[in-house]
Structures are given as C-alpha cells and as structure tokens.
Structure 1
C-alpha cells in the first residue's frame, strides 16, 4: 500500500484577493478555475513546484481558518523573495522550533494559515 499526494482545500471569499495573495505574493500559478455558471462560486487549483492547493468559494467545501503545513527547502530564499514583493498586509518571519524545524507561517486574507516548514537537518 502507498498513499499519494494530499491536496488541501482552503476556503476563500474573494477571487481577486485570493489571486493577489496566492499568485502575486506567494508566486503560485493558477492551473484551472471552475464555475458551474455565471454568478456561481469559483473553485480553482493553484500550484508552485510540487505544492498543489485547491481554493474554493463554495460554502460547504471547507472551514475558514484551516492550517496547512507545506514542506520546503530553501526557506531563507523564499522568505527573501516574499519580503522583496512588498505585500502590504503581511511581513513574514522565520522561526526556529523546538522540534528541529525552521518555519514561516503566513495567514491568507481568509484566515487560513500556511506554515512552510524546513527541517534543520
């Protein structure tokens, strides 16, 4: 038996704000968007490297305020990249944990937390 990749679904409320955060700030790419019709909520996939996230405006898909841990290598480079973008709503910092990781936790405009985690080893 082998488990595959996990694709978390994060609740969003505003597509423009989601794009500003996930695409313009974090550097993700929109892979696809779906709506059942005009004036319907959007469901989309964003990705960067091997990290894939689904973002949904649909009420029943998930709960706002979720948290995702994303493995990363080169956390210092990513931290520098984000700070150079000058996103006005968030100034991320790297923290060293007691369990041997370096983490950077970002909160999106919808209360979801993304913790980028790099092992110190």
Structure 2
C-alpha cells in the first residue's frame, strides 16, 4: 500500500459573469487561463487559471461552489504583490497590506464576493 501524500489543494470559486471574472483574475491579479471547459454551446463555464504555482478553478455551475468563499494563500513577496496591485488602480478593489502579528496579509475580494487572502509569514 502506497503512503498517503497530498499534492495540492485547488480552490473552486463560483463566478457569474465571465467578462468581470476575466477583468479581475486576468487583468488585475495577473492570472492566465490554463484551460476552459463547457459541455456544449450555451453551457456554464468551468476553467482553470494560474499565476506561478497558484492554481484556481472558476465555475459558473451552480452546484460547484458557494459565493463568498475564502482561500488563504501562503506566499513570499507579498510587498511586491501589493505594489503591483496598487499600481493597477483597479477601481473595484484597492487592497491594503496589514500586519497581522507574525504575518503580512493582503486580501482581495472578487466581483462575486470570494476572498483571496494572501499571507506571508514574517516572524
């Protein structure tokens, strides 16, 4: 029997508007589209986006995910990420950089109420 080994978790976020999702995840956060899937014309979208090693699934399917979910993303270089996001001046989200006692946090909220909490351990 092989030992149990977890590879990674991939958060699934519910979306309702593809252009708004693209504006937020691609233009603002800098993700790229890895693949998209639909069962046919006029069916909901299910896709994967990534930036470096960070992978997310975005879905229009009503049963796949709950709007308003949160993903905690442990990372390094959070000050640079914050500077990149601030420079884009995205009118719907101007995230801060907060000292949370032993870590820095930068939280962004997508147009569908989902939160991405970027965190870097500092102490």
Shorter-chain TM-score range: over 0.9
Q: What's the counterpart of residue 73 of structure 1?
A: 76
Q: What's the counterpart of residue 55 of structure 2?
A: 52
Q: What's the counterpart of residue 38 of structure 2?
A: 35
Per-residue CA deviation, residues 52-108 of structure 1 (Å, 9 max, x unaligned), is 00000000001000000011111110001011111110111011113x110011100
From 93, 117, 120, the equivalent of 1:118 is 120
Q: Give the distance between the partners of 1:65 and 1:91, measured in 2 at CA.
A: 18
Instruction: Extract structure 1 runs of 4+ deviating beyond 3 A.
Output: none
TM-score by length of 2: 0.95
**5+ unaligned residues in a row in structure 1: which ranges?**
none
The aligned length equals: 120
Q: What's the counterpart of residue 107 of structure 1?
A: 109
Q: Give the distance between the partners of 1:83 and 1:41, measured in 2 at CA.
A: 32
Q: Give the distance between the partners of 1:8 and 1:92, measured in 2 at CA.
A: 21
